């Protein structure tokens, strides 16, 4: 059987011998990696999954029962628009790059590798979660996210193998060699080395960390390097579902907690107390903020100037696509105090993108707080200050309270158990994680979803165990 018929694609794979040879070597290693690091214990089960088979509106939403190793991981780019132009920066209005511009080869490869590394990393982080699923509906959603992260790895590997020659092929191999949380060969970004071993962490991860992915992909979807832009545009359609899983998952946890708060002591009733949910929000939000990079960055300026990485909705949202004259004011720590500093806008683009992300996260918080209000609970959840608990950028190496006030290292140590999940909190959450796999049943610590998948009821047997 022709290998390439198994790989749905719109990149003329059958005509590209060089790419075929590269993929031929990489594919068996990918499948080995999936067996070794993909969902543990469920590889032979039938799962009701969505598979993308083309980029047409109806082509990326085919639902059927599939065993995960048989999932048809494909290579899809949004179709090219004739006469595409570079949409921002110093080369604004010139023809889009169809090949990698030589002077940016290394940094562009770095961007693609860094994005690509997050995709298998999250599958590794979530490898054991299936064993404690709160319902078959949730189990299916976990696996949907996992196979699509696998496909995102394919998307980045396609770019590396097609556009970066030998170096790209080496990088594609290395993407299968690093392991999340392994001290000898860790994944590149810290949020992707954090354990994600219970479902509260999973929902926070898909809410906050996948959402970073949305903003990075959106910025790259504006790229003047057209193959990258078109790849990211298609990936965003899948990413939306991942954030839906996180956002609605947390909303359901909050709803159940609110119900139990009215009935008595949440812990005694086997739910997740609101303060533990808040601490998990603080943890994942702060780690996810780091993923945007330093507040002041010459890389961001170079990439914007070159037309390679734009702003969120660059075309829709902005009139001035050059941005060379503008400034941006941000708070920095200067001689032990927070002070305003004005920097050239192009150097502040990581912070600009982070600001868009924060606005989007706030919408999630508003939805969860509405759930609390609807249940008649007066407590509210919130996002911590963007300065809190940062490990990268202007605020790393300083200590801030949850509101963003500078505090001493000692005070942070004393108070961090108020703000971040403690070992006891984590153990308590883990103690609630028992698998519920009977169709129509759900764990006690989470509410039912509002609807099922693709018009199916919640009781549908989404995974055949």
DSSP state of 383: P
# residues near Fe ion by CB under 5 A: 6
Rounded to a whole number of angstroms, the minimum distance from the CB of residue 213 to Fe ion is: 5
Rounded to a whole number of angstroms, the minimum distance from the CB of residue 187 to Fe ion is: 13
Rounded to a whole number of angstroms, the minimum distance from the CB of residue 232 to Fe ion is: 10
Question: How many angstroms separate the CA atoms of 74 and 148, rounded?
Answer: 10
| End-to-end CA, the chain | 30
The stretch near Fe ion (CB under 5 A) out of 34-42, 242-250, 281-289, 382-390 is 242-250
Rounded to a whole number of angstroms, the minimum distance from the CB of residue 152 to Fe ion is: 4
The stretch near Fe ion (CB under 5 A) out of 134-142, 206-214, 291-299, 320-328 is 206-214
Rounded to a whole number of angstroms, the minimum distance from the CB of residue 440 to Fe ion is: 28
Nearer to Fe ion, 194 or 347 (CB): 194
Q: What token pair was written down for 207?
A: 């809410």
Nearer to Fe ion, 214 or 426 (CB): 214
Please name the helix (run of DSSP H) or strand (run of DSSP E) that holds residue 51, with its range, or none.
Answer: strand 46-51
Rounded to a whole number of angstroms, the minimum distance from the CB of residue 196 to Fe ion is: 12
Compose the 98-137 pattern: x for residues touching Fe ion by CB under 5 A, - for all others: ---------------------x------------------
Nearer to Fe ion, 91 or 209 (CB): 209
Rounded to a whole number of angstroms, the minimum distance from the CB of residue 242 to Fe ion is: 4
Nearer to Fe ion, 120 or 323 (CB): 120
Nearer to Fe ion, 228 or 274 (CB): 228
Q: Which burial class, exposed, middle or buried, applies to 96 when counting CB atoms under 10 A from its CB (0-12, 13-18, 19+)?
A: buried
Chain center to CA of 56: 24
Count of H helices and E strands in the chain? 13, 7
Rounded to a whole number of angstroms, the minimum distance from the CB of residue 322 to Fe ion is: 31
Q: Are strands 46-51 and 62-67 parallel, antiparallel or unpaired?
A: antiparallel
Nearer to Fe ion, 87 or 249 (CB): 249
* Beta bridge pairs of residue 339: 332
- Decide if residue 242 touches Fe ion (CB under 5 A): yes
Rounded to a whole number of angstroms, the minimum distance from the CB of residue 149 to Fe ion is: 5
Nearer to Fe ion, 152 or 255 (CB): 152
Nearer to Fe ion, 237 or 437 (CB): 237
Question: How many angstroms separate the CA atoms of 17 and 49, rounded?
Answer: 31
- Decide if residue 210 touches Fe ion (CB under 5 A): yes
Nearer to Fe ion, 89 or 116 (CB): 116
Closest CA to 334 of 343, 326, 325: 343
Please name the helix (run of DSSP H) or strand (run of DSSP E) that holds residue 64, with its range, or none.
Answer: strand 62-67
Q: Are strands 46-51 and 463-464 parallel, antiparallel or unpaired?
A: antiparallel
Residue 121, classed as helix, strand or coil, is helix
Q: What is the DSSP track for 132-143? A: G-S-HHHHHHHH
The stretch near Fe ion (CB under 5 A) out of 43-51, 91-99, 177-185, 207-215 is 207-215
Residue 86, classed as helix, strand or coil, is coil
* 52 contacts 280 by C-beta, under 8 angstroms: no
Percent helix, percent strand, percent coil in the chain, to nearest 5: 50, 10, 40
- Decide if residue 198 touches Fe ion (CB under 5 A): no
The stretch near Fe ion (CB under 5 A) out of 94-102, 239-247, 283-291, 388-396 is 239-247
Rounded to a whole number of angstroms, the minimum distance from the CB of residue 148 to Fe ion is: 7
Nearer to Fe ion, 152 or 169 (CB): 152
Residue 340, classed as helix, strand or coil, is strand
Binders of Fe ion in range 292-311 (CB under 5 A): none
Closest CA to 232 of 124, 351, 83, 115: 115
Selected binder of Fe ion within 78, 140, 152, 169 (CB under 5 A): 152
Q: Which residues bind Fe ion (CB under 5 A)?
A: 119, 149, 152, 210, 239, 242
């Amino acid at each position: 059987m022709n290998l390439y018929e198994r790989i749905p694609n719109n990149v003329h794979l059958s005509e590209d011998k060089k790419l075929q040879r590269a993929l031929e070597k990489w594919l068996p290693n990918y499948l080995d990696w999936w067996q070794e690091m993909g969902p543990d214990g469920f590889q032979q089960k039938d799962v009701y999954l969505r598979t993308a088979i083309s980029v047409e509106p109806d082509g990326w939403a085919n639902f059927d029962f599939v065993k995960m190793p048989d999932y048809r991981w494909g290579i899809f780019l949004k179709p090219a628009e004739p006469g595409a132009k570079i949409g921002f920066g110093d080369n604004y209005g010139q023809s889009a790059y169809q090949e990698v511009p030589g002077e940016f080869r290394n940094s562009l490869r770095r961007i693609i590798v860094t994005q690509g590394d997050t995709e298998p990393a999250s599958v590794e982080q979530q490898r054991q979660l299936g064993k404690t699923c709160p319902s078959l509906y949730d189990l299916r959603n976990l696996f949907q996210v996992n196979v699509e992260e696998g496909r995102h790895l394919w998307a980045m590997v396609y770019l590396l193998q097609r556009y970066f020659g030998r170096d790209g092929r080496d990088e594609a191999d290395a993407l299968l060699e690093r392991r999340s949380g392994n001290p000898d060969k860790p994944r590149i970004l810290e949020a992707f080395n954090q354990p994600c071993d219970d479902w509260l962490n999973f929902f926070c991860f898909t809410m906050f960390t996948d959402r970073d992915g949305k903003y990075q992909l959106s910025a790259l979807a504006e790229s003047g390097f057209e193959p990258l832009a078109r790849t990211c545009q298609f990936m965003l359609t899948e990413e939306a579902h991942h954030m839906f899983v996180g956002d609605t998952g947390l909303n359901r946890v909050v709803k159940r907690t609110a119900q139990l708060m009215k009935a008595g002591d949440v812990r005694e009733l086997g739910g997740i107390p609101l303060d533990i949910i808040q601490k998990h929000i603080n943890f994942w939000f702060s780690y996810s903020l780091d993923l945007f990079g330093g507040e002041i960055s010459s890389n961001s300026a170079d990439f914007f100037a070159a037309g390679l990485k734009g702003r969120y909705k660059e075309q829709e949202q902005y009139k001035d696509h050059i941005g060379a004259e503008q400034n941006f004011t941000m708070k920095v720590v200067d001689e032990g105090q927070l002070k305003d500093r004005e920097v050239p806008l192009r150097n502040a683009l990581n912070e600009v993108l982070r600001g868009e992300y924060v606005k989007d996260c706030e919408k999630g918080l508003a939805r969860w707080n509405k759930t609390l209000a609807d249940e008649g609970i007066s407590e509210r959840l919130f996002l911590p200050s963007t300065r809190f608990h940062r490990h990268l950028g202007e605020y790393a190496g300083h200590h801030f309270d949850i509101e963003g006030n500078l505090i001493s290292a000692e005070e942070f140590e004393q108070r961090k158990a108020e703000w971040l999940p403690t070992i006891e909190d984590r153990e308590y959450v883990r103690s609630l994680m028992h698998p519920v796999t009977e169709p129509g049943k759900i764990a006690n610590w989470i509410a039912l979803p509002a609807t099922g998948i693709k018009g199916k009821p919640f009781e549908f047997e989404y995974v055949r165990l």
